[in-house]
Structure formats: structure tokens, C-alpha cells
Amino acid sequence: MLNALVAFLNYVFVPAMAYGSQLALGALGLTLVFGILRFSNFAHGDTMAFGTMCVIGVTWLFQSWGISFGPLPTALLALPFGIVLTAAFVLATDRMVYRFYRVKKAKSIILVIVSTGVMFITNGLTRIIIGPEERNFLDGERFVITAGQFKALTGLTEGLAIKSTVAISVVVAALCVAALFWFLQRTREGKSMRAYSDNEDLALLSGINPERVVMVTWIIAAALATIAGTLYGLDKSFRPFIYFQLLLPIAASAVVGGLGSPLGAIVGGFIVAFSEVFVTYAWKKVVGYLVVLDLEPTTLLQLLSTDYKFAVSFTILIIVLLFRPTGIFKGK
């Protein structure tokens, strides 16, 4: 029984928590841009890739200088520099591309298509600069607790391993979310963003400067994208194409929670992550501990092969759009 619980925690809960944190951060960036600039930013996945690439670059630089962060990955030290570079890149994109359409008051569908263009450009840039192949940039301690240590500690046959990247993902995501909510709820700048998102015309009448709101939004979105991308890259590995694909579960997360709602993005991230892991995990082991020996399942008890994990996001997306298009937290 305890073994079943530990196996469940080890193979389902812990990985889903880490993945959920990463998705939540990605979805937060997407939902903020939607709330303020009023379009779904298709380039968000590739902004994550670009940000992660910047972090990897700075990490390599630090490593070549012999700088490390002790037991923690050097990438965490490089993160602030990656954020600055990505924010600069995103602001430049806004100045060169999006602002042109904003001034013309283009419809949001046009902006969506424009962002698709930006997506391809960003994607291409990333591949040119760092190359399309897989990169591993994790260093420092690998585990907070290994399966062997856990077994020795508890005497169970099933081990629970917690990778340091999982712990880092959850902690960093929690810190980011707390900081973001504090910013949105308590600061003048954050309140003006919420006001602009709520009622653009009235915000203008109140003297809120739209260009400033847009700029702050891009910077925050770039920061969130870089952090989400780096956490994902540390936990798994970095490949530009994977990040492009990540856009789907991230978009699903934002839509499930309600587009434009930050709280919804977080809840949505975990819903999508848990659903994905639940249906693609082979439950044989967990069930095996729960039933008497001769009833042990002969198949893997896996609902879907992991190759189909994107089908989960798609299904969730379609179900939500059909039955509750505004999402859980009443987005737009």
C-alpha cells in the first residue's frame, strides 16, 4: 500500500508538479500578453526557446570562467542575464513589428497571424545561433534525494527520487507567482496594467499611458518565458523544436484557466500537466502493489503512449472550448 503511494508520487505526482510549474509560468506569460495586448501570442513558445538559449550562452560563459553556483545549476546565476537579453529582444520585436499594427488598431486575429510570423523568425534565429540539436546545460547536484537513499531511510522496496531540477522548478515557480501577484495587486504599475486589461478606454481617460503598460507587459512576459524555458530545459533538455511544441500545452493551460486570468493560468498549467502524466503513465507498477499477486495486470495499463501526449492538450482544449469557452476563472 505505502509502496503504491510512493510509486505514484515518484512517477506521477512529482514529475507532474515540476511540469505543471513550468507550464504555469509559460501560461502566465501568454495570458498576460492576451490580457493587455488582446491577442494570443503564438511566438510565446519560441520566446521561451530564445530566452533559454540566452541563459545557456551565459551559463557556458560562466562555466568557462570557472564560476559555479555550488550545488545549484549555474543556469540560475545566468537567468537574470538571460531575462535582460530576452526582454531586449521582445521589446525590439514590439517596436519593429507589433507597434505598427497597434497604432493601426489592427484586429486581434491579424495580431495572432503577425505573432505566428514572429514565431517562425524567432525559431529560425534560435536555430541559427545555437543549432537545432539537443543541449544539456545542467550542472550541480543531481538529486535532492535519490531512490537508494529513500529506500535506506524508509525501508520500503519502492524508492522516491526527487531530482534537484524538480525542486528548483516548483520553488522558483512559486516565488515568481508570488512576486507577480504582489506586483499586480499592490503596485501602481501593476494596478494600471489590470485597469488597462479591464477597460482600455477608461484607462486612457484616467491618464494611464498605454505604451508604458505594453512595455512593462512585454518585459514581464519575457522574464516569465525565460524562466519557464530554463526550468523546462534544466529538468528535461533543451531543443528548439520541443519548445515550439510546448506552445500547445501552454495555450491549453491558459485557455482552461480562462484567458486573461493569471490565477487561471496557474491552475490550468497543473490541470494540463497532471492530465498528460495521468494518461501517459503506465500504471502497472502502482496497481501491482495494490492488488493481490495473481491479479497483477499483464499489460502496462497505459492509456496512451507518450508519443501521443499532445493529444491530451488538444482534447482538453477542445472540451473547454466546447463546454466552457471562458475557462474556469471567467477569462475573455
Nearer to other proteins, 201 or 307 (CB): 201
Q: At what angle are helices 188-198 and 14-37 packed, to 10 degrees?
A: 70
Question: How far apart are alpha carbons 330 and 209 in whole angstroms?
Answer: 26
Nearer to other proteins, 15 or 264 (CB): 264
Does residue 204 touch other proteins according to CB under 8 A? yes
User: Is-contact 52 224, C-beta < 8 A?
Assistant: no
Does residue 202 touch other proteins according to CB under 8 A? yes
Least Å distance, CB 181 to other proteins, is 14
Handedness of CA 262, 263, 266, 269 (dihedral sign): negative
> Could you give the string, one character per residue 162-201, with x where binding to other proteins holds by CB under 8 A and - elsewhere?
--------------------------x--xx-xx-xxx-x
Nearer to other proteins, 22 or 261 (CB): 261
Least Å distance, CB 207 to other proteins, is 4
Helices (H), the chain: 2-8, 14-37, 44-64, 74-93, 99-103, 108-130, 147-154, 164-186, 188-198, 200-205, 210-235, 240-257, 262-280, 284-290, 309-323
The binder of other proteins chosen from 12, 72, 113, 208 (CB under 8 A): 208
Nearer to other proteins, 85 or 180 (CB): 180
Size of the site for other proteins (CB under 8 A): 16
- Tell me which residue of 55, 90, 84 sits closest to 69, measured CA to CA: 55
Does residue 205 touch other proteins according to CB under 8 A? yes
Does residue 121 touch other proteins according to CB under 8 A? no
Can you tell me whether residue 29 is helix, strand or coil? helix
Nearer to other proteins, 1 or 205 (CB): 205
Instruction: Give the interface segment with other proteins, choosing from 98-106, 204-212, 222-230, 268-276 (CB under 8 A).
Output: 204-212
Question: How far apart are alpha carbons 135 and 53 in whole angstroms?
Answer: 9
Does residue 103 touch other proteins according to CB under 8 A? no
* Chain residues in the site for other proteins (CB under 8 A): 188, 191-192, 194-195, 197-199, 201-208
